[in-house]
Every structure is written in structure tokens, then in C-alpha cells.
Structure 1
């Protein structure tokens, strides 16, 4: 699984001109699911995202994770993160999970992180979403779980 995480001062998802999800200060995570991903991948990614230190401590160093930083989390499914961009000028999606597998694993990820003591919002799988954010820093990281082959 892939997560492109961004520390934000606010972020939102709009579908059909209606804001369906929004957070204040925290982390926006765009989530890509690949074919080899499993429930183990979900656990690994959840632990990595929740424990990644992107929030500043009292000395201005990125030493706090989302739980310590008091932030909120917005999870947005984005299958294009699983694209193969190594050849040519058009992305290939053969490595992306099927919609059924991706939706199931995304829902599991939402459930897993929702057990934490943080506010969690989510985008809608398969919807045409407009994602708005103010990247704080900017701070952006690419996280990926180990792949089984």
C-alpha cells in the first residue's frame, strides 16, 4: 500500500459541490492500493502513518506523530498512486488492485486508524472528488509498505 501524506492546516473533499469530509490541522493521506496488498499491508501502513513524526515539538523539530501532535486525519482513496510510470508517457494500472480489493482494504484502513484517539475523516471510494488542502511547511512524504512477491 502507498500513502502520500501531507501535513496540512486544513483539507477537505468535495463531491457534487458538497463538502463531504474536512479536517483542520493534521494530515491528509492519499491512499493507493496495489494487487499484492493484504490486511497485513493495512496494519503496516496504519502503524507507519500514525507513528510518522511530521508534527513539530516545542523546539520546532518534527518529533511528534499525529497522536502526539493533536492532529486530525483525512484519508482519500487515490488509485493513480499505484500507476506504473516507468515507461512511456501514459501511466499503466496493471499493478493497481481491483476496485473490490482496493475498496475493501481502504475501508479496513479507515476502521483501523479510527480506533485511535484522533479525528478521522474519509473520502469516498470511486467518487469524482475535488480535494482541497493547505500544505503546512510544505511537508509531504511517500510511505509504502513492504511488498510480498
Structure 2
């Protein structure tokens, strides 16, 4: 075997190892969903309507028609315009695969310094459905009920 062929084979083997290691270090889907939930909570606290909408699918359905993506984003935007804030405290997030989709459950505590949401403050138990759109996980459905 000549020297250039050895270098080529060694380079190809090294490249294959790098690709395999990179594939092993890809963030697990469950972790990506937890990160999306955390980012959404942070966006709500910051009053970022677009940040809240980022992880929601276009056809998001909240509480069986009570809240869609547009209405949820508008509510966050209205809070910011009124100078009100919402506090969001997440409990542990559990993520389970369901075929090609995922279901995430968690508790969330909503607190606020404003008057727009006083009847909605409290602790909620949330169940959310996630599906892959392109390469990203998007929440397409969620249901919540007040637990305290």
C-alpha cells in the first residue's frame, strides 16, 4: 500500500469516527422538549409573545379549543403592553414517547403582579402533546387544570 493511500484510509477512518461521535452527542428528544418548555416559560415571564409562540405548532389547541396559538401569544403581548408581568415556576417535567410523538407532563405555578389574570393565577397540572415538524419538536396540544 502506498503512502497516499494509507493517508486517505486513515483520514476516512478518522472522519467516520468524528461523525459517529457527533451522532452520539446529539441532544435526546426528551431533553429538547424539556428545553422548549423552559424557554416558553421564560418567554412568558419576559412578555415575549413571539418567544411563547416559537415552540407551538400553527394548529396548537389548548384545553380543547379554549386557547389557540394566536390567542395565547396575544394574551402575552397584552400583558407586556399593560406593563403587567406573569411569574412562571415550572415543576419537574416528565416526557414519555408515544409512537412518533411525545407527551410531557408537569406542574406550573402562575403568579402575577397585574390585574389582567387574577382569576387564572395558581398551580396547574399540564399535559402537552409534541410532534416533530421539520427537525424541531412543537407542542400541538395541551390541557391544564388547576390543582390548587
- Which structure has the higher relative contact order (CA within 8 Å, separation 6+)? 1
Q: TM-score range by the shorter chain?
A: under 0.3
Q: Which has a greater percent of helix?
A: 2
Q: TM-score, normalised by structure 2?
A: 0.25
Structure with larger Rg? 2
